Protein backbone atom coordinates (compact mmCIF):
# COMPACT_ATOMS: atom_id res chain seq x y z
CA UNK A 1 0.00 0.00 0.00
CA UNK A 2 1.56 3.28 -1.09
CA UNK A 3 1.34 5.73 1.79
CA UNK A 4 2.82 9.20 1.91
CA UNK A 5 4.19 10.95 4.97
CA UNK A 6 3.28 14.61 4.96
CA UNK A 7 5.43 17.30 6.48
CA UNK A 8 3.97 19.57 9.09
CA UNK A 9 3.94 23.29 8.45
CA UNK A 10 6.26 25.06 10.84
CA UNK A 11 5.07 28.04 12.90
CA UNK A 12 7.05 30.31 10.61
CA UNK A 13 4.91 29.21 7.69
CA UNK A 14 1.63 30.01 9.42
CA UNK A 15 0.69 32.35 6.59
CA UNK A 16 0.01 29.26 4.51
CA UNK A 17 -2.82 28.32 6.83
CA UNK A 18 -6.41 29.19 5.84
CA UNK A 19 -6.65 31.23 9.05
CA UNK A 20 -3.37 32.78 10.32
CA UNK A 21 -4.91 32.93 13.81
CA UNK A 22 -5.48 29.18 13.86
CA UNK A 23 -2.61 28.07 16.09
CA UNK A 24 -3.91 24.63 17.05
CA UNK A 25 -2.49 21.90 14.81
CA UNK A 26 -4.74 18.88 14.17
CA UNK A 27 -3.22 15.71 12.72
CA UNK A 28 -5.02 12.54 11.72
CA UNK A 29 -3.93 9.24 10.26
CA UNK A 30 -4.58 5.53 10.19
CA UNK A 31 -3.00 2.27 9.17
CA UNK A 32 -4.32 -1.25 8.90
CA UNK A 33 -1.79 -3.74 10.24
CA UNK A 34 -1.60 -6.60 12.70
CA UNK A 35 -1.41 -5.19 16.23
CA UNK A 36 -1.39 -8.27 18.42
CA UNK A 37 0.15 -6.09 21.16
CA UNK A 38 -2.51 -3.36 21.06
CA UNK A 39 -3.19 -3.69 24.81
CA UNK A 40 0.46 -3.03 25.61
CA UNK A 41 0.55 -0.05 23.25
CA UNK A 42 -2.31 1.73 24.97
CA UNK A 43 -0.49 2.92 28.13
CA UNK A 44 2.56 3.88 26.06
CA UNK A 45 0.53 6.10 23.72
CA UNK A 46 -1.36 7.58 26.65
CA UNK A 47 1.87 8.47 28.44
CA UNK A 48 3.42 10.06 25.33
CA UNK A 49 0.33 12.12 24.53
CA UNK A 50 -0.04 13.34 28.10
CA UNK A 51 3.63 14.37 28.15
CA UNK A 52 3.05 16.40 24.97
CA UNK A 53 -0.22 17.89 26.29
CA UNK A 54 -2.08 16.59 23.25
CA UNK A 55 -5.85 16.22 23.10
CA UNK A 56 -7.80 13.88 20.87
CA UNK A 57 -8.46 10.22 20.31
CA UNK A 58 -6.39 7.20 19.37
CA UNK A 59 -8.14 3.95 18.48
CA UNK A 60 -6.13 0.77 18.76
CA UNK A 61 -7.40 -2.50 17.35
CA UNK A 62 -5.90 -5.83 16.43
CA UNK A 63 -6.46 -4.63 12.84
CA UNK A 64 -4.61 -1.32 13.16
CA UNK A 65 -4.49 2.25 14.46
CA UNK A 66 -6.64 5.31 13.80
CA UNK A 67 -5.75 8.63 15.44
CA UNK A 68 -6.73 12.27 15.62
CA UNK A 69 -4.68 14.43 17.97
CA UNK A 70 -4.39 18.17 18.41
CA UNK A 71 -1.92 20.49 20.10
CA UNK A 72 0.88 22.92 19.44
CA UNK A 73 3.08 22.68 16.37
CA UNK A 74 5.94 21.44 18.54
CA UNK A 75 3.79 18.79 20.20
CA UNK A 76 2.27 17.42 16.98
CA UNK A 77 5.67 17.41 15.31
CA UNK A 78 7.00 15.39 18.25
CA UNK A 79 4.10 12.94 18.02
CA UNK A 80 4.69 12.51 14.30
CA UNK A 81 8.40 11.95 14.97
CA UNK A 82 7.53 9.22 17.47
CA UNK A 83 5.45 7.42 14.85
CA UNK A 84 8.38 7.65 12.44
CA UNK A 85 10.81 6.26 15.00
CA UNK A 86 12.00 2.81 15.97
CA UNK A 87 10.96 3.27 19.59
CA UNK A 88 10.80 -0.21 21.19
CA UNK A 89 6.99 -0.42 21.51
CA UNK A 90 6.45 0.76 17.92
CA UNK A 91 9.14 -1.28 16.17
CA UNK A 92 8.96 0.95 13.10
CA UNK A 93 5.45 -0.24 12.27
CA UNK A 94 3.95 3.24 11.98
CA UNK A 95 6.52 4.81 9.68
CA UNK A 96 5.18 6.56 6.60
CA UNK A 97 1.55 6.82 7.68
CA UNK A 98 -0.21 9.32 5.41
CA UNK A 99 -0.90 12.15 7.84
CA UNK A 100 -3.46 14.89 7.28
CA UNK A 101 -2.94 18.30 8.86
CA UNK A 102 -5.49 21.01 9.58
CA UNK A 103 -5.66 24.04 11.86
CA UNK A 104 -8.14 25.58 14.26
CA UNK A 105 -8.28 28.43 16.73
CA UNK A 106 -9.46 26.19 19.54
CA UNK A 107 -8.67 22.53 20.29
CA UNK A 108 -11.35 20.32 18.69
CA UNK A 109 -11.22 18.02 21.72
CA UNK A 110 -11.55 18.44 25.46
CA UNK A 111 -9.30 15.58 26.55
CA UNK A 112 -6.99 12.82 25.36
CA UNK A 113 -8.31 9.26 25.05
CA UNK A 114 -6.64 6.06 23.91
CA UNK A 115 -9.25 3.38 23.34
CA UNK A 116 -9.16 -0.32 22.51
CA UNK A 117 -11.58 -1.36 19.77
CA UNK A 118 -12.47 -4.53 17.91
CA UNK A 119 -12.15 -2.60 14.63
CA UNK A 120 -10.80 0.86 13.87
CA UNK A 121 -13.76 1.25 11.55
CA UNK A 122 -16.63 -1.03 12.44
CA UNK A 123 -18.12 -3.25 9.77
CA UNK A 124 -18.46 -6.61 11.46
CA UNK A 125 -17.15 -8.79 8.63
CA UNK A 126 -13.96 -10.60 9.76
CA UNK A 127 -13.05 -11.61 6.21
CA UNK A 128 -12.62 -7.95 5.20
CA UNK A 129 -8.96 -7.24 5.97
CA UNK A 130 -7.60 -4.05 4.37
CA UNK A 131 -4.07 -4.94 5.52
CA UNK A 132 -4.22 -7.83 3.06
CA UNK A 133 -6.49 -6.58 0.30
CA UNK A 134 -8.27 -3.38 -0.65
CA UNK A 135 -9.24 -1.38 -3.74
CA UNK A 136 -7.24 0.77 -6.12
CA UNK A 137 -6.18 4.31 -5.19
CA UNK A 138 -7.30 7.36 -7.13
CA UNK A 139 -5.52 10.64 -6.49
CA UNK A 140 -7.77 13.70 -5.92
CA UNK A 141 -6.38 15.52 -8.95
CA UNK A 142 -7.12 12.49 -11.12
CA UNK A 143 -10.70 12.33 -9.88
CA UNK A 144 -11.11 16.03 -10.67
CA UNK A 145 -9.82 15.36 -14.18
CA UNK A 146 -12.30 12.52 -14.61
CA UNK A 147 -15.14 14.78 -13.49
CA UNK A 148 -13.96 17.69 -15.64
CA UNK A 149 -13.87 15.42 -18.68
CA UNK A 150 -17.15 13.71 -17.85
CA UNK A 151 -15.58 10.27 -17.79
CA UNK A 152 -18.22 7.56 -17.22
CA UNK A 153 -17.90 6.33 -13.65
CA UNK A 154 -19.91 5.79 -10.49
CA UNK A 155 -19.06 8.09 -7.59
CA UNK A 156 -20.20 6.33 -4.43
CA UNK A 157 -20.59 8.15 -1.10
CA UNK A 158 -19.95 5.69 1.74
CA UNK A 159 -20.79 8.14 4.52
CA UNK A 160 -23.86 8.31 6.73
CA UNK A 161 -26.98 10.23 5.80
CA UNK A 162 -26.42 13.06 8.30
CA UNK A 163 -22.98 13.74 6.85
CA UNK A 164 -24.24 13.86 3.28
CA UNK A 165 -26.88 16.44 4.17
CA UNK A 166 -24.12 18.98 4.74
CA UNK A 167 -22.41 18.36 1.42
CA UNK A 168 -21.36 15.87 -1.26
CA UNK A 169 -20.01 15.55 -4.78
CA UNK A 170 -22.61 16.67 -7.32
CA UNK A 171 -23.04 13.36 -9.11
CA UNK A 172 -22.48 11.05 -6.15
CA UNK A 173 -24.75 8.13 -5.33
CA UNK A 174 -26.23 8.45 -1.83
CA UNK A 175 -26.36 4.98 -0.23
CA UNK A 176 -28.90 6.19 2.38
CA UNK A 177 -26.84 4.78 5.24
CA UNK A 178 -27.55 5.35 8.92
CA UNK A 179 -24.34 3.55 9.83
CA UNK A 180 -21.41 2.06 7.95
CA UNK A 181 -22.52 -1.40 9.03
CA UNK A 182 -25.38 -1.08 6.51
CA UNK A 183 -22.96 -0.70 3.61
CA UNK A 184 -22.77 -4.38 2.49
CA UNK A 185 -26.56 -4.67 2.25
CA UNK A 186 -26.74 -1.36 0.35
CA UNK A 187 -24.12 -2.58 -2.14
CA UNK A 188 -26.28 -5.63 -2.89
CA UNK A 189 -29.07 -3.28 -3.99
CA UNK A 190 -27.00 -1.21 -6.43
CA UNK A 191 -27.90 -1.46 -10.14
CA UNK A 192 -26.07 -4.32 -11.85
CA UNK A 193 -24.87 -1.98 -14.62
CA UNK A 194 -22.59 -0.29 -12.10
CA UNK A 195 -20.41 -3.39 -12.22
CA UNK A 196 -19.44 -2.50 -15.79
CA UNK A 197 -18.12 0.96 -14.83
CA UNK A 198 -15.23 2.27 -12.73
CA UNK A 199 -16.55 2.83 -9.20
CA UNK A 200 -14.92 5.51 -7.02
CA UNK A 201 -15.77 5.34 -3.32
CA UNK A 202 -15.16 8.24 -0.99
CA UNK A 203 -15.59 9.22 2.65
CA UNK A 204 -14.25 11.93 4.94
CA UNK A 205 -10.64 10.82 5.17
CA UNK A 206 -10.38 7.41 3.52
CA UNK A 207 -10.60 4.84 6.29
CA UNK A 208 -14.12 3.63 5.53
CA UNK A 209 -13.25 3.12 1.89
CA UNK A 210 -10.44 0.75 2.84
CA UNK A 211 -13.17 -1.72 3.77
CA UNK A 212 -15.85 -0.52 1.36
CA UNK A 213 -13.73 -1.32 -1.69
CA UNK A 214 -13.11 -4.87 -0.46
CA UNK A 215 -16.85 -5.38 0.10
CA UNK A 216 -17.53 -4.21 -3.46
CA UNK A 217 -14.86 -6.45 -4.95
CA UNK A 218 -16.38 -9.41 -3.14
CA UNK A 219 -19.78 -8.41 -4.56
CA UNK A 220 -18.51 -8.66 -8.13
CA UNK A 221 -17.48 -5.07 -8.90
CA UNK A 222 -14.35 -5.27 -11.02
CA UNK A 223 -12.80 -1.78 -11.11
CA UNK A 224 -13.14 -0.27 -7.65
CA UNK A 225 -11.21 2.78 -6.43
CA UNK A 226 -11.03 4.77 -3.25
CA UNK A 227 -10.40 8.50 -3.28
CA UNK A 228 -6.93 8.91 -1.77
CA UNK A 229 -7.19 11.02 1.39
CA UNK A 230 -10.97 11.22 1.13
CA UNK A 231 -12.92 14.45 0.84
CA UNK A 232 -10.43 16.38 2.96
CA UNK A 233 -7.62 15.19 0.72
CA UNK A 234 -9.60 16.39 -2.30
CA UNK A 235 -10.13 19.81 -0.73
CA UNK A 236 -6.45 20.07 0.08
CA UNK A 237 -5.27 19.05 -3.39
CA UNK A 238 -7.92 20.69 -5.58
CA UNK A 239 -9.31 23.60 -3.57
CA UNK A 240 -12.71 24.93 -4.57
CA UNK A 241 -14.22 23.09 -7.54
CA UNK A 242 -17.64 23.01 -9.19
CA UNK A 243 -17.97 19.31 -8.49
CA UNK A 244 -18.53 19.66 -4.76
CA UNK A 245 -21.58 21.26 -3.16
CA UNK A 246 -21.86 22.33 0.47
CA UNK A 247 -19.47 21.55 3.31
CA UNK A 248 -17.80 18.44 4.71
CA UNK A 249 -18.95 17.10 8.07
CA UNK A 250 -16.06 16.30 10.40
CA UNK A 251 -16.11 14.37 13.63
CA UNK A 252 -14.96 17.01 16.09
CA UNK A 253 -16.11 20.25 17.60
CA UNK A 254 -15.71 22.12 14.33
CA UNK A 255 -18.69 20.17 12.88
CA UNK A 256 -17.96 21.07 9.24
CA UNK A 257 -15.25 22.46 6.95
CA UNK A 258 -15.55 24.24 3.62
CA UNK A 259 -13.45 23.57 0.52
CA UNK A 260 -10.72 25.81 1.88
CA UNK A 261 -10.62 23.65 5.03
CA UNK A 262 -12.06 26.45 7.15
CA UNK A 263 -14.55 25.89 9.93
CA UNK A 264 -18.09 26.78 8.85
CA UNK A 265 -21.15 28.06 10.72
CA UNK A 266 -22.70 24.58 11.04
CA UNK A 267 -23.54 23.47 14.56
CA UNK A 268 -24.60 20.22 16.21
CA UNK A 269 -28.04 19.77 17.76
CA UNK A 270 -27.62 18.57 21.32
CA UNK A 271 -30.99 16.84 21.32
CA UNK A 272 -30.90 14.66 18.20
CA UNK A 273 -27.19 14.84 17.33
CA UNK A 274 -27.89 16.05 13.81
CA UNK A 275 -25.79 18.77 12.16
CA UNK A 276 -27.60 22.10 11.93
CA UNK A 277 -26.96 24.27 8.87
CA UNK A 278 -27.05 28.07 8.85
CA UNK A 279 -30.54 28.02 7.32
CA UNK A 280 -31.69 25.56 10.01
CA UNK A 281 -30.37 27.96 12.67
CA UNK A 282 -32.67 30.68 11.28
CA UNK A 283 -35.73 28.52 11.95
CA UNK A 284 -37.87 29.35 14.99
CA UNK A 285 -37.68 25.62 15.81
CA UNK A 286 -33.95 25.91 16.45
CA UNK A 287 -33.21 26.54 20.11
CA UNK A 288 -29.54 26.12 20.89
CA UNK A 289 -28.99 23.25 23.29
CA UNK A 290 -32.66 22.23 23.11
CA UNK A 291 -33.93 21.41 19.61
CA UNK A 292 -33.57 21.91 15.86
CA UNK A 293 -36.03 21.74 12.92
CA UNK A 294 -35.45 17.98 12.66
CA UNK A 295 -36.41 17.11 16.20
CA UNK A 296 -38.49 19.99 17.57
CA UNK A 297 -41.79 18.27 16.78
CA UNK A 298 -40.63 14.78 17.74
CA UNK A 299 -39.82 15.29 21.38
CA UNK A 300 -36.22 14.20 20.76
CA UNK A 301 -34.99 16.79 23.21
CA UNK A 302 -36.66 14.88 26.03
CA UNK A 303 -34.38 11.89 25.48
CA UNK A 304 -30.92 11.67 26.92
CA UNK A 305 -28.23 11.05 24.38
CA UNK A 306 -26.69 7.58 24.34
CA UNK A 307 -24.18 6.05 22.04
CA UNK A 308 -23.62 2.29 21.81
CA UNK A 309 -20.29 1.10 23.00
CA UNK A 310 -18.87 3.28 25.63
CA UNK A 311 -17.98 6.75 26.65
CA UNK A 312 -15.67 8.97 24.69
CA UNK A 313 -14.52 12.44 24.70
CA UNK A 314 -12.18 13.06 21.91
CA UNK A 315 -12.59 12.60 18.25
CA UNK A 316 -12.84 9.17 16.89
CA UNK A 317 -13.13 8.21 13.32
CA UNK A 318 -15.38 5.45 14.12
CA UNK A 319 -17.01 4.71 17.13
CA UNK A 320 -16.23 4.93 20.43
CA UNK A 321 -19.29 4.04 22.15
CA UNK A 322 -21.14 5.97 24.50
CA UNK A 323 -22.65 7.00 27.61
CA UNK A 324 -25.10 9.74 28.23
CA UNK A 325 -23.84 13.19 27.48
CA UNK A 326 -24.52 15.49 30.34
CA UNK A 327 -23.90 18.71 28.46
CA UNK A 328 -23.84 19.95 24.93
CA UNK A 329 -20.09 20.16 25.04
CA UNK A 330 -19.78 16.60 26.27
CA UNK A 331 -22.17 15.25 23.68
CA UNK A 332 -20.47 17.09 20.89
CA UNK A 333 -17.12 15.94 22.14
CA UNK A 334 -18.31 12.39 22.17
CA UNK A 335 -19.62 12.70 18.73
CA UNK A 336 -16.39 13.99 17.44
CA UNK A 337 -14.52 11.36 19.15
CA UNK A 338 -16.48 8.78 17.42
CA UNK A 339 -15.53 9.26 13.88
CA UNK A 340 -12.30 10.85 14.13
CA UNK A 341 -10.39 7.80 14.58
CA UNK A 342 -12.47 5.16 13.48
CA UNK A 343 -14.34 6.89 11.05
CA UNK A 344 -17.72 5.63 11.18
CA UNK A 345 -19.52 3.42 13.14
CA UNK A 346 -20.69 4.55 16.29
CA UNK A 347 -23.14 7.18 15.47
CA UNK A 348 -23.47 6.08 13.98
CA UNK A 349 -20.00 5.29 14.50
CA UNK A 350 -15.90 7.53 10.56
CA UNK A 351 -13.21 8.30 9.32
CA UNK A 352 -9.52 8.35 12.78
CA UNK A 353 -8.82 9.82 11.62
CA UNK A 354 -9.95 9.90 10.11
CA UNK A 355 -13.03 9.60 8.37
CA UNK A 356 -10.26 9.35 12.73
CA UNK A 357 -8.44 10.29 11.22
CA UNK A 358 -10.21 8.93 8.52
CA UNK A 359 -5.90 9.08 7.11
CA UNK A 360 -6.85 10.90 7.82
CA UNK A 361 -9.50 12.19 8.44
CA UNK A 362 -11.82 12.90 11.30
CA UNK A 363 -18.11 9.65 14.64
CA UNK A 364 -20.54 11.57 15.09
CA UNK A 365 -22.33 10.06 17.54
CA UNK A 366 -25.12 8.01 18.03
CA UNK A 367 -27.47 6.51 15.68
CA UNK A 368 -30.05 9.11 15.36
CA UNK A 369 -33.13 8.55 17.33
CA UNK A 370 -32.87 4.84 16.71
CA UNK A 371 -29.49 4.43 18.33
CA UNK A 372 -30.37 6.69 21.15
CA UNK A 373 -32.48 4.02 22.67
CA UNK A 374 -29.69 1.42 22.92
Rounded Cα distance, 283 and 360, in Å: 34
292 is catalytic: no
Q: Which of 49, 99, 203, 248 is catalytic?
A: 203
Rounded Cα distance, 243 and 221, in Å: 24
Cβ atoms of 232 and 356 within 8 Å: the answer is no
User: DSSP character for 305?
Assistant: P
| Helix, strand, or coil (residue 248) | strand
- How many Cα neighbours within 13 Å face the side chain of 255? 20
- With b for 16 or more beta-carbon neighbours within 10 A and e for fewer, the 287-325 pattern comes to eeeebbbbbbeeebbeeebbbbbbbbbbbbbbbbbbbeb
Q: Give the Cβ contact number of residue 109 at 10 Å.
A: 28
CA angle 172, 272, 319 (to 5 degrees): 65
Q: Give the Cβ contact number of residue 242 at 10 Å.
A: 9
Cβ atoms of 253 and 332 within 8 Å: the answer is yes
Residues belonging to the active site = 203
Amino acid sequence: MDEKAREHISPGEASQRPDPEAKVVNITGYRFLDLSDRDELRPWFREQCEALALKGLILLSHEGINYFVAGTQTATDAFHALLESDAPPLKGRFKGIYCKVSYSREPPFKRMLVKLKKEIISLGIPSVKPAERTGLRLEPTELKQWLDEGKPCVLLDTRNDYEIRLGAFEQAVDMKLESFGEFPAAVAKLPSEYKQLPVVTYCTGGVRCEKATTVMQDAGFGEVYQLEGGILGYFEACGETKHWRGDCFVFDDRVALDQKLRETSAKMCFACREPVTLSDQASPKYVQGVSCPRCADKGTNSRSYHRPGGNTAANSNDDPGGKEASSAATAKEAASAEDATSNENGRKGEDPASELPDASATARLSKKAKSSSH
